[in-house]
Structure 1
Amino acid sequence: MATALIILAAGQGTRMNSDLPKVLHKVAGAPVLAHAMRAGATLEPERMIVVTGHEGEAVSKAALEVDENVVTVTQAEQLGTGHAVAQALPALEGFTGKVLILFGDTPLIRTETLEALAGSATDITVLGFEPANPRRYGRLILSGDMLERIVEAKDATDAERAVTLCNGGLMAVEAELLSDLVTGLSNDNVAGEYYLTEIVALARAKGRSASVVTCDEAETLGVDTRAQLAQAEASFQARARAEAQENGVTMTAPETVFFAYDTVIGRDTVIAPNVVFGPGVTVESEAEIRAFCHLEGCHISRGATVGPFARLRPGAELAEDVHVGNFVEIKNAILDEGVKVGHLTYLGDAHIGEHTNIGAGTITCNYDGVMKHRTEIGKRAFIGSDTMLVAPVKVGDGALTASGSVITQDVPAEALAISRARQETKPGLAAKLFEKLKQIKAKRQKEAQ
């Protein structure tokens, strides 16, 4: 059956104590809203609608960055979840199928759970869970296998409070029925709001079927506070680490490794302690990421080694068997097979040919204060320690730069480039200078007394 998504993301999240809407706070490098959208996108919905409210322009922008085809609608006044869904109904015009209603502040929902909701045969399917402490949650009241109604905790009788199956918030509803039920909601309550949960009882009164799909409590976590944001991050990381290990990745101290929402690691890769993956990282099989590395927006090929204490920034591309050592930073640079960059080096806006050796302290001087420029180094070249390559510049295949050189002109293949001042040695002058400096220091100390 065709599916559509309505994602509710209009809330301000006052308990976050933030100028930023709660759905734009990040878990694993992506806004909470993006996690909900990506989970829903695995169903390949015909339509995805995000309901915005507080700071709606920023929320809409973030949603469009995840999916350029998403439709955003505005809930100008926050009059309850039922009212929010009503704002999305015009965008569903002409759609026939199952509508899934998700929350933009629930980042941990699994694809398998959404598939179970979408695949349910009943007219309405509600997500349920059994929390460790059900006190504050709405209860799902069943009659046999059928869901009869949802009762808020504050309105529940003692018998209803004894029910441990609680409302997870998410729903799947046949499209035409959803429109009919939401239109029939009333705000005749103390808060004056339209509650989506009431559509279950309305549907049952019309003789329609309703059921429950269950999940673990962790999936239902909503991010309303900074503490819950940290809890969501911890849950995501625990899940990501377990999945990586199941996929054949070795982590010597997994609790110290942090993944982004889209990190991809090949099997038989080894990750040492205290490694952080930002968004956009792919690591192929049999690579090694040593301790205290930070990687973002980069690709690491089979057999490469990185670190310790290395930083790979967006656009870094490491071919097979490349070695990047300690205190090396690489940005928007391609390193071909077998390149070695041992230590204390910055390579930005560059292409390094295969089996070239980059000496310690080498810097590609890629920025002139206005524009970026590129450095091209050929195959099997040798860049001496402390070489400054002032871009734009090219170093040919098999060329060599002498240590301490500032290279401002192209170096032909197999040539030696030297650019440094001639050394002069003055016998005995060091001792004389030190003695003079000591006399000056003693004089200043005496004057200060």
Structure 2
Amino acid sequence: MTNRFAIILAAGQGTRMKSKLYKVLHPVCGKPMVEHVVDNVSKLTVERTVTVVGHGAELVKSKLLNKSDFVVQEEQLGTAHAVKQAKGILGDEEGTTLVICGDTPLITSETMEALLKHHHEHKAKATVLTAYTDQPDGYGRVIRNAEGLVEKNVEHKDTNEEERKIKEINTGTYCFDNQALFQALEKVSNDNAQGEYYLPDVIEILKNQNEVVSAYQTADFDETMGVNDRVALSEAERIMRKRINEYHMRNGVTIIDPTHTYIDASIRIGSDTIIYPGSIIKGNTTIAEDCQIGPNSELYNAVIGPGSVIQQSVVRESTIGARVDIGPFAHIRPESNIHDEVKIGNFVEIKKAVIGKGSKASHLSYIGDADVGENVNLGCGSITVNYNGKSKSLTKIEDDVFVGCNSNLVAPVTVGKGAYIAAGSTITKDVPGESLSIARARQVNKEDYVKKLNLKN
């Protein structure tokens, strides 16, 4: 097999996005557009990938990390000019080069592979990826000869009446013989209305040299979508979301209403898990089998163990064990570790806390900066008072502790194994194991107080 290379065009600012964020960094299902492209290219057998960056170069590089080499297009002078920036890396190589735009997040590795295969089978110097659409306005048309090879590529504004009727369009993705590509780039002119160097001109140059220029038509027009504004971004998100949800359903996940379930591209979900409507699952979240998520739950960079239920709650950057019941309306904040068979009920907030196996905080509690042991009962309104205005301190609650309702544990403090905290207590000192701690004012009843008060009035 001949060597393969890839050039990804990601230098444009994307003014039509009307955003401070560079176009190719806008996310589609949680991943920047250009990263979708690079990740799909990486599934091919490619010796080297070069990403052409310009606006926001350092940010683009930081997102792609070690996935690509980079060259900088200092001035955006057209697509041919952008590809030419890779000459220092690829100019002397022999093989086939795939050129693809960084704003086409929907194109799959399967389509890229089919394009490369077609290119080699037809011994072409260039192959254009095309698609069929009933609404070709604005797209360049691909004109084929009787043998099905490319006769010419015509920009929409240059089409005549007959050419305008053609519904096969140029998607902007190409395969080239690498040597032929860089030789032809030297001949591309900017003698046009925009004063730019256009990559499609390479096709005409190769045709004029009597080289074979072929075209491969993908069956899925949606894959070829270039995202240039927020409307197209939303459409790409919709298509990608449908693709992701169908992938999970075909792998044994029940998604009750896929049109109202939002799952990022990097999520892993075990079989027989049920996702209810309104759920948003983002980042690098992993959900084990037999879970129930939602309705209306949000998970971000979370690990959810088997058989757990997350109902109408938020879990962020935390680990949830097996058979845990969370919600409704709970908030698990970052750096929390909820062990197996724990119950976190309605309006409970957990922050940077370990909750041991079998423990319960069933309602209306805040547990922050805490190390909670096994089989602990945190009564309604339990609070770990972790912040003194300057620093956070740890509350340690050992196994089998019972904390009564409306108790405040003022950190740093330790409650020993098997201890009881009386309801309404404010605990400021360590509590020995197996003890009952009462820290509240003694009740005083003033008889006939109301009668006396009324007499004064």
Q: TM-score, normalised by structure 2?
A: 0.86
**1:130 alignment partner AA:** Y
Q: Shift of the alpha carbon at 1:433?
A: 11
* Partner-residue secondary structure (3-state), 1:68: helix
Tell me if 1:173 matches 2:176. Answer: yes
Q: How far apart, CA to CA, are the structure 2 residues paired with 1:91 and 1:178?
A: 14
Deviations 1:105-164 (A, max 9, x none): 111111211121233313322110011211221111222132232111222233333322
For residues 68-107 of structure 1, the aligned pairs below 5 Å read: 68-107=66-105
1:261 corresponds to which residue?
265
Q: How far apart, CA to CA, are the structure 1 residues paired with 2:408 and 2:38?
A: 50
CA contact (8 A) 2:309 2:324 kept: yes
1:15 corresponds to which residue?
16
Tell me if 1:234 matches 2:229. Answer: no
Moved more, 114-123 or 132-141: 114-123
Distance 1:293 1:189, change over 3 A: same
1:382 corresponds to which residue?
377
* Partner-residue secondary structure (3-state), 1:4: strand
Q: How far apart, CA to CA, are the structure 1 residues paired with 2:394 and 2:203?
A: 67
Distance 1:345 1:195, change over 3 A: same
Q: How far apart, CA to CA, are the structure 1 residues paired with 2:164 and 2:16?
A: 27
Q: How far apart, CA to CA, are the structure 2 residues paired with 1:352 and 1:410?
A: 15
Percent identity between matched residues is 30
1:138 corresponds to which residue?
140
Q: Shift of the alpha carbon at 1:30?
A: 2.5
CA contact (8 A) 1:49 1:73 kept: yes
CA contact (8 A) 1:148 1:200 kept: no
Q: Which of 192, 204, 207 is 2:207 aligned to? A: 204
Q: Which of 312, 321, 324 is 1:322 aligned to? A: 324
* Partner-residue secondary structure (3-state), 2:363: coil
Q: Shift of the alpha carbon at 1:50?
A: 1.9
Distance 1:435 1:156, change over 3 A: farther
* Partner-residue secondary structure (3-state), 1:18: coil
Tell me if 1:195 matches 2:198. Answer: yes
Q: How far apart, CA to CA, are the structure 1 residues paired with 2:452 and 2:30?
A: 55
Deviations 1:254-305 (A, max 9, x none): 2111111212222211111111122221112211012111111101121110
For residues 14-33 of structure 1, the aligned pairs below 5 Å read: 14-33=15-34
CA contact (8 A) 1:5 1:45 kept: yes
CA contact (8 A) 2:53 2:60 kept: no
Cα RMSD over matched residues? 2.4
1:372 corresponds to which residue?
none
Q: How far apart, CA to CA, are the structure 2 residues paired with 1:119 and 1:160?
A: 28
CA contact (8 A) 2:127 2:213 kept: yes
Q: How far apart, CA to CA, are the structure 1 residues paired with 2:399 and 2:237?
A: 47
1:444 corresponds to which residue?
none
Moved more, 317-326 or 186-195: 186-195
Distance 1:194 1:387, change over 3 A: same
CA contact (8 A) 2:375 2:399 kept: yes
Number of aligned residue pairs: 425
2:441 corresponds to which residue?
422
Distance 1:206 1:324, change over 3 A: same
CA contact (8 A) 1:64 1:70 kept: no
2:166 corresponds to which residue?
163
**1:258 alignment partner AA:** Y
- Structure 2 alignment gaps of length 5 or more: 387-392, 427-439
Q: How far apart, CA to CA, are the structure 2 residues paired with 1:73 and 1:386?
A: 58
Q: Shift of the alpha carbon at 1:317?
A: 1.0
Q: Shift of the alpha carbon at 1:240?
A: 2.0
Distance 1:335 1:112, change over 3 A: same
* Partner-residue secondary structure (3-state), 1:360: strand
* Partner-residue secondary structure (3-state), 1:36: helix
**1:19 alignment partner AA:** K
2:399 corresponds to which residue?
397
Q: How far apart, CA to CA, are the structure 1 residues paired with 2:281 and 2:255?
A: 13
Q: TM-score, normalised by structure 1?
A: 0.87
Deviations 1:15-64 (A, max 9, x none): 2222332222222223222222222222253322222223x33xx32333
Distance 1:382 1:434, change over 3 A: farther
- Structure 1 alignment gaps of length 5 or more: 367-374, 440-449
**2:270 alignment partner AA:** G
Q: Shift of the alpha carbon at 1:324?
A: 0.7
Q: Shift of the alpha carbon at 1:310?
A: 0.3
CA contact (8 A) 1:123 1:209 kept: yes
Q: How far apart, CA to CA, are the structure 2 residues paired with 1:433 and 1:426?
A: 14
